[in-house]
Amino acid sequence: MWRNTEVLAFVAWLRDYNRGSEKYKGRKEPVGFYGLDLYSMTTSMAAVLAYLDKVDPQEAAAARARYGCFGQFIGNPQAYGYAIASGRWDSCEQEVMNQLMQLQRKARLYVEQDGVFAGNEYFSARQNAELVKNAEEYYRAMFRGRPSTWNLRDRHMFETLEKLAAHLESRLGREPRIVVWAHNSHLGNAAATDMGQRGEINIGQLVNEEYGNRALRIGFSTSRGTVTAASDWDGPAETKTVRDPLPGSYEAIFSGLEKKRFFLDLRTEDEAVSLLKEKKLQRAIGVIYRPETERASHYFYSSLPRQFDFMIHIDKTEAVQPLPSFVHKRPGEMDETYPSGF
């Protein structure tokens, strides 16, 4: 999603924009780039400890003791979840909750003592502590099935978005404008898809329920080309050729149009949009892409105008170019994004 040359170029552009923009010179906050997901439990623990090492070494020692509850599983949260499910390890639920509450209790002290950037630094540390709490719950729930873990994850993303919005509003003195970037399966209204029938929610549905027409949901589709994805969990990134869309799917309909790149407003009541309201197959490609089982692995039914407000279609796409990875995993260790491919 983010460790590729396109995001690197964007972040470089954003840095230059923040440094040189006339508009920025009068602003309290630069344009930021934030993470919402919970797949970073181990690195979030490290971020909390690094912050406390700087502002309160005594509390840092206490935090290390709390996070030490994970023992041998501190770098392998999937194994922690399995050990809990099999009764081989005690839950660390109380320890991670206590750590978050302790950070919250000392909020005023930390912010007041640490200068102009303290608010941002404390907010980041608190959100990392909250991520650890939510991720611990996620990995404990992993072996109970998909709806449970999926809903925990997307609710975490929505709550993080809400807290980020509140934090930015307090610093800007106005309601912030935020762009959320994620796969379609997270951003579209889950209630308009098969996901809703399975009892699954997503951040798009929660945003729609909270903000209504104050938020816009923009989807992206493609019909062919190449993508960067893995074949299996913990597998290497591969450049894969996207199969032609299944007949009758939204992607097949868009591919049959004369225009091969377009931006479609789905809020209108014209005939074209009305024809799209009936549920049709839609393709979702995430971290994993398995063309050999594409119908079962990557297609679901949706009503596009209920799912999104706008749709961007680029008929032929090109794979993103991954940046080198400097993370070395132990043999058999799953990626932190397991078990969801989106």
Confidence label for 114 from pLDDT (cuts 50, 70 and 90) = low
Instruction: Look at residue 29 and tell me whether its pLDDT is greater than 90.
Output: no
Query: Do residues 205 and 222 both lie within one domain?
Result: no
State residue 265 phi and psi, 5-degree precision. Answer: -85, 110
Measuring CA to CA, which residue among 77, 69, 75, 73 is closest to residue 93?
A: 69
The model's pLDDT over 206-249, given as tens digits with 9 standing for 90+, comes to 999 999 999 999 999 999 999 999 998 778 899 999 999 999 99
The model's pLDDT over 185-196, given as tens digits with 9 standing for 90+, comes to 999 999 999 999
Query: Do residues 170 and 194 both lie within one domain?
Result: yes
Rounded Cα distance between 135 and 41, Å, is 6
Q: Is the pTM of this model over 0.75?
A: yes
Instruction: Look at residue 4 and tell me whether its pLDDT is greater than 90.
Output: yes
Alpha-helical segments (H) within the chain: 5-20, 22-25, 41-55, 57-67, 77-85, 93-105, 107-113, 118-141, 146-172, 184-187, 194-197, 203-211, 250-255, 271-276, 294-298, 304-307
The predicted model gives 159-173 an average pLDDT of 94
Contacts of 66 (CB under 8 A, 6+ apart): 95, 96, 98, 99
Give strand pairing partners of 8.
none
At 220, which helix (H) or strand (E)? strand 218-221
Contacts of 318 (CB under 8 A, 6+ apart): 225, 226
Question: Which residues span the domain enclosing 282?
Answer: 218-317
pLDDT given for residue 86 in this prediction? 93
Residue 257 belongs to a domain with what CATH number?
3.40.1660.10
Establish if 330 belongs to a structural domain.
no
pLDDT given for residue 331 in this prediction? 45
The predicted model gives 306-327 an average pLDDT of 90
C-alpha angle with apex 278: 274 to 281, nearest 5 degrees? 125
**Chain-centroid distance, C-alpha 270:** 33
Total tally of structural domains belonging to the chain: 2
From 187, 214, 241, the end of a domain falls on 214
Return the percentage of the chain with pLDDT > 70, whole number.
Answer: 90
pLDDT given for residue 92 in this prediction? 97
Return the percentage of the chain with pLDDT > 90, whole number.
Answer: 79
Query: Do residues 277 and 192 both lie within one domain?
Result: no
The predicted model gives 107-117 an average pLDDT of 78
The predicted model gives 80-96 an average pLDDT of 95
pLDDT given for residue 3 in this prediction? 86
Establish if 74 belongs to a structural domain.
yes
The model's pLDDT over 168-187, given as tens digits with 9 standing for 90+, comes to 999 889 999 999 999 999 99
pLDDT given for residue 23 in this prediction? 64
3-state helix, strand, coil in the chain (%, to 5): 55, 10, 35
Establish if 326 belongs to a structural domain.
no
From 214, 235, 254, the end of a domain falls on 214
Rounded Cα distance between 160 and 154, Å, is 10
Q: CA-CA distances (angstroms) from residue 339 to 39, 75, 95, 234, 285?
A: 10, 16, 24, 10, 15
Rounded Cα distance between 126 and 336, Å, is 21
Query: Do residues 124 and 174 both lie within one domain?
Result: yes
Rounded Cα distance between 100 and 35, Å, is 18
Pick the range with the lowest mean pLDDT from 154-168, 272-286, 320-334.
320-334
Q: CA-CA distances (angstroms) from residue 313 to 13, 225, 252, 253?
A: 25, 13, 11, 11
pLDDT given for residue 117 in this prediction? 63
Query: Do residues 105 and 76 both lie within one domain?
Result: yes
Confidence label for 284 from pLDDT (cuts 50, 70 and 90) = very high
Establish if 44 belongs to a structural domain.
yes
Rounded Cα distance between 197 and 146, Å, is 13
Residues in the chain: 342
From 163, 190, 214, the end of a domain falls on 214
Rounded Cα distance between 85 and 97, Å, is 20
pLDDT given for residue 258 in this prediction? 96
Show the tokens assigned to 59: 């509390």
Confidence label for 20 from pLDDT (cuts 50, 70 and 90) = confident
